[in-house]
Structure 1
Amino acid sequence: MAFDWSVEQIAAAPSITPPTLHKHYFRERKPRAEVRFRVEAKLFTVLMTETEARNVSTIDKYVKHFERHDACVPKSA
């Protein structure tokens, strides 16, 4: 959800149906903004570790991933 996947796309990842996703994972289906915040918090933890290790290529990869994603999201989302 943090990357704006539809319910169908999320359900397809573990090869389940959308109703099964709703039934068994309803607590995990948090609002997109909350999920995005959690992903970004974990990302920054990794980035800090990688920064301390001076792994510039990994940092660049993460930043570019989020830039590509944000470029595709409408401003109102």
Structure 2
Amino acid sequence: MTVRTRNRVSMLLALGWAPPRIAAALGVTPPTLRKHYFFELRQRDVARDRLELRRIEIAWELAEAGNVGALKEFGRLLDRNDQMEAERSMSSQPEKSQRDDQSGVRLGKKVLDAQLARDADADLAAELELEAAQQHAIN
């Protein structure tokens, strides 16, 4: 039960490994893993975030020390984090088109698909009419 082994368990959890697989990799039984690494196993939900935090910390420390490659990597990590946050905020808010305007009830997939198809047809018809009017004006 060294700190190194605890960190390995946390890292493997962050990578998505199941406890039986971790136990096999460490050469212990699953009950032994649960007994000695109970705290780490309970932290499964935040293990990935902690691993990512450590990567960011290391990149920042090396960048501060003047490592240009680390500075570039920190920039990539920052960009990726911004993208993930934008995706998270967009997925947490349902689109207006997914809600019925009158009742505020979320529409089902089939109803939503049918509505989107009608809207696409209307957009295409409007675009074709505009194009025909432009052709007629040219002639």
Give me the TM-score of the superposition, normalised by structure 1.
0.61
Matches within 5 A, 1:45-64: 45-52=57-64, 53-55=67-69, 59=73
Match of 2:50 among 10, 13, 38: 38
Higher helix share: 2
- Mapped to 2, the partners of 1:30 and 1:44 lie a distance apart of 23
Structure 1 outlier segments of 4+, above 6 Å: none
- Mapped to 1, the partners of 2:24 and 2:63 lie a distance apart of 34
Instruction: State the structure with more CA Rg.
Output: 2
How many pairs are equivalent? Answer: 60
Per-residue deviation, residues 27-74 of structure 1 (Å, max 9, x unmatched): 121342211111111010112234441126xx4xxx6xxxxxxxxxxx
Give me the TM-score of the superposition, normalised by structure 2.
0.37
- Mapped to 2, the partners of 1:31 and 1:6 lie a distance apart of 13
Structure 1 counterpart of 2:19: 7
Structure 2 counterpart of 1:21: 33
Structure 1 counterpart of 2:98: none
